[in-house]
Amino acid sequence: MSPASRLKNDNFLRALRRQTVDHTPIWLMRQAGRYLPEYCATRQRAGDFLTLCKSPDFACEVTLQPLARYDLDAAILFSDILTVPDAMGLGLCFEAGDGPRFERPLREEWAINNLTAPDPYDRLGYVMDAVRTIRKALDGSVPLIGFSGSPYTLACYMVEGGGSKDFCHIKRMLYGRPDLLRRILAVTTQAVIAYLNAQIECGAQAVMIFDTWGGSLAHTAYVEFSLAYMRDIVAGIHRNWAGETIPSILFAKGGGQWLEQIAASGCDGIGLDWTTDIADARRRVGGRVALQGNLDPGVLLSSPEVIAAEARKVLEAFGAGNTGHVFNLGHGISRFTPPEHVTALVESVHQYKARS
Ligand code: 1CP
């Protein structure tokens, strides 16, 4: 693998290290997805979403689609956080028009006691093949981000058996049998460490941990049931690989009230959702970590003029000295986003440097 220093565009990695950049780098969560007609066409050819994830050639094809259209500063591996519980034997399926479902949700004590961390090269070998294929296809143009779900977010899906609005099952376990939840989180943490390390060994140049549901926890429960395990992951993953430092980003949806504790986890960057004021976040933690975010994805449903104005508000709120900021949305891009609106966003973020 060619070292990151030979990347044609390393602004994303430099911003995470809080080094000077040519322009504020931008990539978008779910940049490959259903808002792109070419993604929908490839998904149709693949047959379904899981086949798309499990075929390294299809995964590579869709990873590159947004980069062919837009001047993005990073690629993200096309996969899903739920491949890890699938590899742990829970039986993932996506029903047409529906969200993800597990055939065997994790609720019984015996099943929780039997849970083990899978060998990523064996049970998730298709992800490793995808990472290698994508790195080769990127050919040093922009860095490749690997990712995983956080243990608590994965546990939400594993215990609920799919997406949830009220988190009844996991909250019942958290307050009634915290020992069982702790066992799930401990095993999942080991699984995530091995999985992210394997992605790094195969070519991922930065890693992101998605804690989509940590923000649904009570104030005191957040540190104990979500952040503590992410801290173990940050400590357990390769800090350096192939002569390069591998930055880590914790995406903390709804995590605005815990920024100081998150910044102390050892991560290099914090992904912010749009409910947090990025100026305030920078004052609180900007000296210690980079910040990624945090435009409301709903802005992309408006018009190129509004998008440019709202993007500028985020850039100006982050403030002078554009180092330490990776521009992104506060959550995944909506499937109803017109693709040309993304062009307007990427152009406004890149042009901002010209004026600043
Ligand atoms: O029908 C389709 O084509 C599937 C839609 C889709 C896509 C495009 C799903 C199902 N997953 C993905 C890809 C995906 N998921 C990526 C790819 C890389 C990228 O371009 O960003 C990533 C990083 C994820 C991560 C992911 N999956 C998260 C964490 C981030 C977030 O959005 O909060 C979560 C929570 C999931 C679970 C998941 N996978 C898919 C859906 C619809 C969901 C949400 C289910 C729910 O809770 O309702």
In whole angstroms, give the CA distance from residue 180 to residue 169: 12
* pLDDT for residue 354 is more than 60: no
Residues with a known catalytic role? 30, 34, 43, 80, 157
More confident residue, 96 or 66: 66
What is the fold of 4-355? Answer: TIM Barrel (3.20.20)
In whole angstroms, give the CA distance from residue 131 to residue 145: 9
How far does the centroid of ligand 1 lie from the alpha carbon of residue 22, in Å? 31
Contact 24, 326 (CB under 8 A): yes
Mean pLDDT within 172-182: 98
Residue 2, pLDDT score: 45
| Residue nearest ligand 1's atom 36 by CA | 81
Residues composing the chain: 356
Mean pLDDT within 200-212: 98
Q: For the segment 148-176, what is each residue's pLDDT rounded down to a tens digit? A: 999 999 999 999 999 999 999 999 999 99
**Mean pLDDT of the residues in the chain:** 95
Provide the sign of the torsion angle of the four alpha carbons 193, 266, 275, 143, taken in this order.
negative
Mean pLDDT within 276-305: 96
In whole angstroms, give the CA distance from residue 319 to residue 279: 7
* pLDDT for residue 5 is more than 60: no
Of ligand 1's listed atoms, the one at least distance from the Cα of 34 is: 3
From the CB of 91, is ligand 1 less than 6 Å away?
no
pLDDT category of residue 95 using cuts at 50, 70 and 90? confident
| Residue nearest ligand 1's atom 35 by CA | 212
* pLDDT for residue 4 is more than 60: no
> The tokens 């403030």 sit on which residue?
319
Percent of the chain with pLDDT over 70: 97
In whole angstroms, give the CA distance from residue 31 to residue 18: 24
* pLDDT for residue 271 is more than 50: yes
* pLDDT for residue 3 is more than 80: no
Residue 322, pLDDT score: 67
From the CB of 76, is ligand 1 less than 6 Å away?
yes
Q: What is the DSSP letter of 197?
A: H
From the CB of 167, is ligand 1 less than 6 Å away?
no
Instruction: Among 81, 152, 159, 196, say which to mutate for ligand 1: greatest number of ligand atoms within 8 Å of CB.
Output: 81
Q: For the segment 230-249, what is each residue's pLDDT rounded down to a tens digit? A: 999 999 999 999 999 999 99
Instruction: Among 28, 30, 62, 328, say which to mutate for ligand 1: greatest number of ligand atoms within 8 Å of CB.
Output: 30
Max Cα separation, the chain? 61
pLDDT category of residue 43 using cuts at 50, 70 and 90? very high
How far does the centroid of ligand 1 lie from the alpha carbon of residue 82, in Å? 9
Crossing angle of helices 151-160/228-236, nearest 10°?
A: 120
From the CB of 29, is ligand 1 less than 6 Å away?
yes
Residue 97, pLDDT score: 72
pLDDT category of residue 1 using cuts at 50, 70 and 90? very low
In whole angstroms, give the CA distance from residue 26 to residue 347: 10
* pLDDT for residue 25 is more than 90: yes
Percent of the chain with pLDDT over 90: 93
Contact 24, 315 (CB under 8 A): yes
Break the chain into its structural domains and give their ranges. 4-355
How far does the centroid of ligand 1 lie from the alpha carbon of residue 80, in Å? 6
How far does the centroid of ligand 1 lie from the alpha carbon of residue 295, in Å? 18
In whole angstroms, give the CA distance from residue 242 to residue 73: 21
Residue 207, pLDDT score: 98
Rg, C-alpha atoms of the chain:
19
* pLDDT for residue 342 is more than 50: yes
| Residue nearest ligand 1's atom 39 by CA | 80
How far does the centroid of ligand 1 lie from the alpha carbon of residue 308, in Å? 26
Mean pLDDT within 329-338: 98
